[in-house]
Amino acid sequence: MDLGIKGAAVVVAGGAAGIGRAIAREFAQEGANIALLDINPAVAATADEISVDYGVKSVSIVADLTDYETVLSAAAQVKESLGGSSHVIFAAGAGSGKFGFPFWNLDPSDWPRILNINLIAAVNTAHAFGPLLIDKGESSLLFISSIAGQIGSQTDPPYSAAKAGLINFAMCAAKDFAAHGVRVNTVCPGMIKTDLNRSVWKAWFDSQPPEQQLDYDSWGALKVKQVAPLGRWQEPEEIGAMAVFLASKNARNITGQTINVDGGQVMHW
């Protein structure tokens, strides 16, 4: 099936590892050229690996997405190297590293860094790349949020609040961009084995008495069974496949939507 992705310029912000890396690989498999942005210098190796594996152009930019001037400069570099961008996926994120249940386990001073990474960095990306997306037309912006932003998850309150803010901002942006041919959607994963997910387990683990501590795999297996009707972890490639679909011409009538890829954890009825 021709998805209309071949040769497109695709930006993945937070693309060095985990879900962002998997998203970039799914787009590259469809023949897209890729620009990866990440604060982690390992992003260069991820970009190289993608061009070797799929024979597409793949560039990397080391960037702290919480800094607007840096993101503006990254957008200019993407324009120079890929001739613009048709699809931008924001997949960066981080947790507080603390067990936030109850919320007063955290201090108010724990909040700004987490809001900056999970929400303000996404706003920076929308501002900086908006003109490139408008230039291309028939383009799209996708935010990777989390089901934590929909359920008052008792794990990491600033993370959950930032993710809820991101879902709402995506709807505002979808309305503003619609007349310019840019669609905006949000994908919410449930539980995926990545560094970020492992840090959620570690914060829980450190807060438990020794007799209640479980290793990562046992904790995850128990939790997934309890919370996900389909009873299994999600895979990063499943988020990648949804991201490709939402960028594709098959999704040309989809904007302002929040799509959960979560094994059925969140159902509204």
**Residues at the site binding ligand NAD, with contacts judged by CB under 6 A:** 14, 16-20, 38-40, 64-66, 91-94, 117, 121, 144, 146, 189, 191-192, 194-197
Closest residue to ligand NAD, based on beta-carbon distance: 18
Minimum distance between the CB of residue 60 and ligand NAD, rounded to whole angstroms? 11
Cβ closer to ligand NAD: 136 or 163? Answer: 163
Cβ closer to ligand NAD: 14 or 136? Answer: 14
Residue 108's CB is within 10 A of a number of other CB atoms, namely 9
What gap in Å lies between CA 26 and CA 38, rounded to an integer? 18
Q: Is 60 helix (H, G, I), strand (E, B) or coil?
A: strand
Closest CA to 16 of 87, 83, 73, 94: 94
Q: Residue 12 is inside which H or E element, if any?
A: strand 9-13
Minimum distance between the CB of residue 257 and ligand NAD, rounded to whole angstroms? 16
Closest CA to 136 of 68, 61, 75: 75
Minimum distance between the CB of residue 209 and ligand NAD, rounded to whole angstroms? 25
What gap in Å lies between CA 121 and CA 117, rounded to an integer? 5
Question: Both tokens of residue 238?
Answer: 């499943």
Cβ closer to ligand NAD: 36 or 136? Answer: 36
**Rg of the Cα atoms in the chain:** 18
Minimum distance between the CB of residue 177 and ligand NAD, rounded to whole angstroms? 21
Question: Which is it for strands 33-38 and 9-13: parallel, antiparallel or unpaired?
Answer: parallel
What is the DSSP annotation of 76-93?
A: HHHHHHHSS-SEEEE---
Cβ closer to ligand NAD: 19 or 182? Answer: 19
Cβ closer to ligand NAD: 133 or 239? Answer: 239
Cβ closer to ligand NAD: 192 or 203? Answer: 192
Minimum distance between the CB of residue 148 and ligand NAD, rounded to whole angstroms? 6
Output the CA torsion sign for 1, 254, 38, 98: negative
Minimum distance between the CB of residue 239 and ligand NAD, rounded to whole angstroms? 7
